[in-house]
Chains A and B, each alone.
Chain A
Amino acid sequence: AQKITQTQPGMFVQEKEAVTLDCTYDTSDQSYGLFWYKQPSSGEMIFLIYQGSYDEQNATEGRYSLNFQKARKSANLVISASQLGDSAMYFCAMREGRAETSYDKVIFGPGTSLSVIP
């Protein structure tokens, strides 16, 4: 069963505006980690931001922030002041298994394609 849901297959945003990409997850683990990656059309995977399940503060990295709502099992990525170079696929990922094992299994959602309009 799929454990990461990204309900927005494609999104458009005007340059310089903020955009939120949704991610919900399902896990029975108490200890887990959430990651966002960017994949431009060139194909490489670029790490953006990380949120641990025990982190009390929402993670931020430059123009990226993560809106973490643990009770709702959501970890939405917020990109502020969008730039043309932000056009890419964005993937939410979850690392789990750490509480029971040290195996660190990592699974991904289906992704959201973001297009930034000049």
Chain B
Amino acid sequence: DAGITQSPRHKVTETGTPVTLRCHQTENHRYMYWYRQDPGHGLRLIHYSYGVKDTDKGEVSDGYSVSRSKTEDFLLTLESATSSQTSVYFCAISEDTPDGDQPQHFGDGTRLSIL
């Protein structure tokens, strides 16, 4: 299994508080992604990274920020959590290959509840 660790695995917090989710990889892969999964929507891309300090927005980036100061760590921050951000968050990584044919490997997910 690809070495991806998400922390925390579960979190309950209150509206308006800041929240940071961490994704740590031991594979030295170039690409890292954050998705949220909600019923009926599949996985929606929040932000992704194509290298240290190189990030870009996904489909649902409003209310989220990310940082990647080291190859192995990709942090997702909710500056002021809202109930609409209650979801399951998945981190994924993938290798950089000439054909882009390598699949993503996913973490186990973080279940975040905002009350």
CA of A46 to CA of B48, assembled, Å: 20
Contacting residue for B94 out of A43, A102, A104, CB 8 A: A104
Binding site for B on A (CB under 8 A): 4, 6, 9, 31, 33, 35, 37, 43-45, 47, 50, 52, 91, 93, 95, 98, 101-111
Residue of A nearest to B44 (CB): A108
- B108 in contact with A44 (CB, 8 Å): yes
Which residues from chain B contact A4 at a C-beta distance below 8 Å? 42
The reply on B59 being an interface residue by CB < 8 A is: yes
Which residues from chain A contact B35 at a C-beta distance below 8 Å? 108
CA of A33 to CA of B101, assembled, Å: 7
Interface of B is mostly: strand
- B101 in contact with A105 (CB, 8 Å): no
Taking the nearest CB of chain A, how far is it from the CB of B2, in angstroms? 10
- B96 in contact with A91 (CB, 8 Å): no
CA of A22 to CA of B28, assembled, Å: 34
Which residues from chain B contact A104 at a C-beta distance below 8 Å? 31, 50, 94, 96, 100
15 pairs, A vs B, C-beta closer than 8 Å: A4-B42, A31-B100, A44-B108, A45-B90, A47-B103, A47-B105, A93-B104, A98-B100, A101-B50, A104-B100, A105-B45, A105-B56, A106-B104, A109-B42, A110-B40
Which residues from chain B contact A101 at a C-beta distance below 8 Å? 50
Taking the nearest CB of chain A, how far is it from the CB of B20, in angstroms? 22
Which residues from chain B contact A45 at a C-beta distance below 8 Å? 90, 92, 104, 106
Which residues from chain A contact B59 at a C-beta distance below 8 Å? 107
Binding site for A on B (CB under 8 A): 31, 33, 35, 40-45, 48, 50, 56, 58-59, 88, 90, 92, 94, 96, 99-101, 103-106, 108-109
- B106 in contact with A44 (CB, 8 Å): yes
CA of A111 to CA of B43, assembled, Å: 9
Which residues from chain B contact A109 at a C-beta distance below 8 Å? 42
Taking the nearest CB of chain A, how far is it from the CB of B40, in angstroms? 6
- B43 in contact with A33 (CB, 8 Å): no
Interface centre among B43, B48, B58 (most CB of A within 10 A): B43
Taking the nearest CB of chain A, how far is it from the CB of B68, in angstroms? 13
Which residues from chain B contact A106 at a C-beta distance below 8 Å? 33, 45, 48, 92, 94, 104
